[in-house]
Amino acid sequence: MAFKFKNVDFIGFDAILSEDERLVRDTARRFIDDNLIPIIEECNREGRFPRELVKPMGEMGFFGANLHGYGCAGMSNVEYGLVTQEMERGDSGIRSFVSVQSALVMYPIYTFGSDEQKDEWLPAMAKGEKLGCFGLTEPDFGSNPGGMRTRARRDGTDYILNGEKMWITSGSIADVAVIWAKMEDENDLVRGFLVPTKTPGFRAYDVHGKWSLRASVTSGLSLQDVRLPASALLPGSGGLKSPLMCLNQARYGIGWGALGAAMSCYDTALQYSLMRKQFRDQPIASHQLVQEKLAWMITEITKGQLLSLQVGRLKDSGKVSHEHISMAKRNNVAIALECARMARDVLGANGISDDYPVMRHMMNLESVKTYEGTQDIHTLIIGQAITGIAAF
Ligand code: TGC
Ligand code: FAD
């Protein structure tokens, strides 16, 4: 028996949002409550991505929401963050899909693409008519993508790509893959390519047996002598900095998104603890040890909201650094996972059942902790920023 979500706002956080920001948040919230919450447990059980929501999400302006033109909604970064919060309150897998489509595929096309590439892909991707994936990680290079083996070599005016990518969200449902490769003829400079997934030599196969992000598609990609015209190169890309710039966009959305998952867990635990009675017919919420858990959760969520909002305001004023984003991603995912574990505990045996969303969030957040830079990598990014010493 899942509970209807109640807003989580301990310190009047809503009052420091603008009217537009609240409107965007509430619109996304309604969409998730009406369309995702009723089906997400079934999707999670079946290991099914709810593809039927893609077009409606496009109509709502959720794809490339903070980009301008090309049919995109042109939201501020704070508004975009509040959308990802609501997505992940529903499920990390749905937020993941939106992050990849928006931050990891539309953003690089928008930032590094030619006018022809932008015209071809962005309007269709904004509507959800075309889907994308982002291939950076390889079987042997996760935290250290600079070691990648995927290579591009020139052949006349064409490029030939060879390599393997692993753990790629939306890989087998994508129409286009952004593939990062080292350029054999440019001293191994990392550059990005737009690879239509129908190109001969490109193959995507799904990863099965996942206990996490079950409502999201995760794939391996194989590229064997994939021949591409010169127009497939993202002309503005150059160096590892290019994919890392894309990661900043996605990590920023995850910082907010993790708060959504945490809010869902906290709200479930609070409502459950007020309803469930043990000892002298008292609600378990009356026990000090249960209150301690709830107080920890709401405190950490509140601190996380303020952190994400400040990082969003910095991003909107062009003053954000990637280390600020690392702090939001690292902190908010860590506290969300702890909220999920505490909420699971508060629900007792019911905590392990998919009658409630808590265990699903907990398992999803294990992936969120790892992808887009592990907890450890973000610790070292912050460490480098404050000491000036890279400890990778
Ligand atoms: P390093 O030498 O430090 O940096 C190379 C160049 O990049 C610059 N830079 C950045 N620029 C923009 N944004 C960032 N976040 C940047 N971090 C570094 C840096 O200044 C340098 O510039 P330049 O001009 O000197 O060339 O590179 P490194 O090889 O030592 O690696 C640094 C490290 C470890 C931090 C980086 O590789 C890293 O972040 N590793 C984690 C990998 C990762 O996050 N992978 C994610 C894959 S995608 C994914 O998981 C999608 S999940 C689905 C979803 O989003 O929901
Ligand atoms: P490793 O790098 O092998 O790390 C293993 C452990 O070692 C971690 O605890 C890590 O913190 C630690 N470690 C590594 N290096 C250091 C160090 N220098 N100091 C201290 N500790 C260290 N990638 C994409 O490109 N596109 C996608 O769409 C995508 N989607 C994903 C979806 C899912 C569900 C998952 C699980 C992953 C996805 N990834 C994707 C891959 C993800 O980005 C990587 O898993 C992540 O970067 C970590 O790499 P790894 O798994 O190889 O772990």
Structural domains of the chain, count: 3
CB-ligand 2 contact for 168 (6 Å cutoff) = yes
Same structural domain for residues 245 and 373? yes
| 247 shares its domain with 379 | yes
End-to-end, the C-alpha distance of the chain in Å comes to: 45
Give the separation between CA 255 and CA 330, rounded to whole angstroms. 8
Residue ID of nearest Cα to ligand 2 atom 19: 392
Q: Are residues 276 and 378 in the same domain?
A: yes
pLDDT of residue 207: 97
Q: What's the confidence (pLDDT) of residue 196?
A: 98
Residue 2: the pLDDT is 80
How many whole angstroms separate alpha carbon 155 and alpha carbon 158?
5
Whether 20 is covered by a domain: the verdict is yes
Q: Is the CB of 174 under 6 A from ligand 2?
A: no
Report the alpha-carbon distance of residue 53 to residue 208 in Å, rounded: 22
Asked if residue 183 and residue 64 are part of one domain, the reply reads no
Q: How many CB atoms lie within 10 A of CB 278?
A: 12
Measured between alpha carbons, how far is residue 209 from residues 45, 138, 142, 255 in Å?
12, 19, 20, 27
Residue 2 lies in a domain: no
Task: Show the tokens assigned to 326.
Answer: 């690392």
- Shared domain check, 372 and 260: yes
Report the CATH number at residue 289: 1.20.140.10
Tell whether 4 is covered by a domain.
no
Instruction: Give me the pLDDT at residue 1, please.
Output: 64
CA of 142 from ligand 2 middle (Å) equals 4
The answer to whether residue 283 is domain-embedded is yes
Catalytic residue among 21, 88, 120, 372: 372
| Residues 382, 269 share a domain | yes
Domain shared by 292 and 361, yes or no = yes
Cα(47)–Cα(45) distance, integer angstroms? 6
User: CATH number, domain at 217?
Assistant: 2.40.110.10
Q: Whose CA is nearest to atom 50 of ligand 2?
A: 142
User: Which residue, 127, 142, 173, sits at the end of a domain?
Assistant: 127
The answer to whether 237 touches 112, Cβ cutoff 8 Å, is yes
Residues 283 and 377 in one domain: yes
Q: What is the pLDDT of residue 41?
A: 98
Q: Which of 127, 162, 185 is the last residue before a domain boundary?
A: 127
* Domain span including residue 215: 132-232
Closest-CA residue to 367 (of 159, 199, 167): 167
Of 127, 161, 190, the domain-final residue: 127
Residue in 97, 371, 378 to alter for ligand 2 test, most ligand atoms within 8 A of Cβ: 371
Same domain membership, residue 179 and residue 254: no
Which pLDDT value is given to residue 263? 98
Q: Is 142 in the pocket of ligand 2 (CB under 6 A)?
A: yes
- The residue whose CB lies within 8 Å of the most ligand 2 atoms, and thus the one to mutate among 99, 100, 133, 167, is 167
Report how far ligand 2's centroid is from the alpha carbon of 146 (Å).
13
User: Looking at the domain assignment, is residue 194 inside a domain?
Assistant: yes
In a domain, 5, yes or no: no
Residue 278 lies in a domain: yes
Residue by residue, pLDDT tens for the chain (392 residues) are 689 999 999 999 999 999 999 999 999 999 999 999 999 999 999 999 999 999 999 999 999 999 999 999 999 999 999 999 999 999 999 999 999 999 999 999 999 999 999 999 999 999 999 999 999 999 999 999 999 999 999 999 999 999 999 999 999 999 999 999 999 999 999 999 999 999 999 999 999 999 999 999 999 999 999 999 999 999 999 999 999 999 999 999 999 999 999 999 999 999 999 999 999 999 999 999 999 999 999 999 999 999 999 999 999 999 999 999 999 999 999 999 999 999 999 999 999 999 999 999 999 999 999 999 999 999 999 999 999 999 99
The reported pLDDT for the residue numbered 267 is 98
CA of 145 to the centre of ligand 2 (A): 9
If asked whether residues 175 and 254 sit together in one domain, one would say no
Rounded Cα–Cα distance for residues 179 and 204 (Å)? 13
Q: What predicted TM-score, i.e. pTM, was given to this entire model?
A: 0.98
Q: CB of 367 closer than 6 A to ligand 2?
A: yes
| Ligand 1 interacting residues, C-beta cut-off 6 A | 96, 99-100, 134, 136-137, 143, 145-146, 169, 239-241, 244-245, 247-248, 250, 322, 371-373, 377, 381, 392
Co-location of 339 and 326 in the same domain: yes
**How far, in Å, is the centroid of ligand 1 from the Cα of 216?**
24
**Residue 375 confidence (pLDDT):** 98
Distance between Cα 371 and ligand 2 center (Å): 5
Query: Is 372 an active-site residue?
Result: yes
Measure the CA–CA gap between 389 and 27, rounded to whole angstroms.
44
Asked if residue 7 belongs to a domain, the reply is no
- CATH number of the domain enclosing 73: 1.10.540.10
- Please name the helix (run of DSSP H) or strand (run of DSSP E) that holds residue 98, with its range, or none: helix 92-99
Asked if residue 218 has its Cβ within 6 Å of ligand 2, the reply is yes
Same domain for 280 and 190, yes or no, is: no
